[in-house]
Amino acid sequence: MTSIDTQDLTKEYGSNRAVDHLTFRVLPGRVTGFLGPNGAGKSTTLRLVLGLDRPTSGTATVGGRAYATLDEPLRHVGALLDAQAPHGSRTARDHLRALAAGNRIGAGRVDEVLEEAGLASVARRRVKTYSLGMRQRLGIAAALLGDPPVVLLDEPSNGLDPEGIIWIRELLRRLAREGRTVLVSSHLMNETASFADHLIVLGRGRLLADTPMRDFIHARVEPRVRVRTTDGPALRGLLTRHGYEASEDDEGRWTVHHARVEDIGRLASDAGLPLLELSAEEGTLEQAYLDLTAAEAEFTSTPAQPQEA
């Protein structure tokens, strides 16, 4: 099984602990979103997994092996990190051909990934003439070159236009469907919600969550129901009698807190109350993420009170 594993992984830069005893496993067949505030340690972790930096202690492995021990690594792991900027005076095609040659990958595969990344028509242009989004597509093409079972992408949507964002979303979903292990860091919560099945969240180098995305949201954001009726006072009375807290907006739409659509629908039906609208208000990943990171910030930034003698 080609999982990514970190075991008690720690990285210190001087007195700053960027990654702090981190243990997690990223499994194949799903997209794992890698989240955390600025400076939480995401890029450092990815660099440690890719052998670009040495851990202070602990291990990071891909398929049970350290990246540095892999022969022809592009066939095992495809990665996009900001730092991997190709040489600007090369054409995109030459850049990929050089990478392919070093990993015994045929030139035909270069044209395939250029096509897949939407760069076929500009493949003979020098990379320095590329826009940020085009460079990003080239980085993703390079990550796919070796048809690897493991793909690590740091902020892949960076600089992409709306069409590019849809492309990357569909690509990530397909890679997971094909049974690959896909780890994607992002600051864009709506984006992450559109492609991730699972989340790993870091805060100050530590693991804050390692959980399916649905569970992550449901554990942190209260379920609500939106409802509209021809008889507001009757609805209010009904909800109050059953212990629900609800509020009405200017357009006569009610929001029922901590409620499920099945329960409110049944209550209204049993009471013979006509409904014009009934819908579940799903919590968003952004709400859940902010809830978690705010709690973490509060916990970690509260200074110890000096004890009065």
Ligand X SMILES: Nc1ncnc2c1ncn2[C@@H]1O[C@H](COP(=O)(O)OP(=O)(O)OP(=O)(O)O)[C@@H](O)[C@H]1O
Pick from 6, 44, 158, 181: which binds ligand X (CB under 6 A)? 44
**Segment contacting ligand X by CB under 6 A, of 32-40, 63-71, 156-164, 300-308:** 32-40
CB 93 within 8 A of CB 126: no
Determine, following the binding rule CB under 6 A, whether residue 201 of this chain makes contact with ligand X: no
Determine, following the binding rule CB under 6 A, whether residue 203 of this chain makes contact with ligand X: no
CB 144 within 8 A of CB 115: no
Pick from 4, 18, 152, 238: which binds ligand X (CB under 6 A)? 18
Determine, following the binding rule CB under 6 A, whether residue 43 of this chain makes contact with ligand X: yes
- Measured in whole angstroms, the distance separating CA 212 from the mean position of its chain's CA atoms is 11
If the CB atoms of residues 49 and 175 are measured against ligand X, the closer one turns out to be 49
CA diameter of the chain? 76
Determine, following the binding rule CB under 6 A, whether residue 38 of this chain makes contact with ligand X: yes
Rg (CA), the chain: 24
- Nearest-10 crossing angle of helices 132-144, 92-102: 20
Fill in the DSSP letter of residue 40: S
If the CB atoms of residues 118 and 159 are measured against ligand X, the closer one turns out to be 159
**Minimum distance from residue 136 beta carbon to ligand X (Å):** 15
**Minimum distance from residue 187 beta carbon to ligand X (Å):** 6
Determine, following the binding rule CB under 6 A, whether residue 41 of this chain makes contact with ligand X: yes
Pick from 4, 9, 40, 292: which binds ligand X (CB under 6 A)? 40
**Segment contacting ligand X by CB under 6 A, of 35-43, 71-79, 134-142, 163-171:** 35-43
Residue corresponding to tokens 């500009």: 122
If the CB atoms of residues 16 and 307 are measured against ligand X, the closer one turns out to be 16
Residue 294 sits at the vertex; the CA angle it makes with 289 and 297, to the nearest 5 degrees, is 125
**Segment contacting ligand X by CB under 6 A, of 11-19, 258-266, 279-287, 300-308:** 11-19
281 C-beta neighbours (distance < 10 Å), count: 16
- Nearest-10 crossing angle of helices 92-102, 107-116: 130
Determine, following the binding rule CB under 6 A, whether residue 186 of this chain makes contact with ligand X: no
**Minimum distance from residue 40 beta carbon to ligand X (Å):** 4
Determine, following the binding rule CB under 6 A, whether residue 9 of this chain makes contact with ligand X: no
Quick one: tokens of 135? 């460079």
Determine, following the binding rule CB under 6 A, whether residue 73 of this chain makes contact with ligand X: no
Cα–Cα distances in Å, from 265 out to 195, 242, 278? Answer: 31, 13, 7
By DSSP bridging, strand 181-185 and strand 16-26 are unpaired
Residue corresponding to tokens 């973490």: 296
| Rounded CA separation 192/35 (Å) | 9
**Minimum distance from residue 64 beta carbon to ligand X (Å):** 24
**Segment contacting ligand X by CB under 6 A, of 37-45, 92-100, 258-266, 296-304:** 37-45
- Which residues are at the interface with ligand X (CB under 6 A)? 13, 16, 18, 36, 38-44
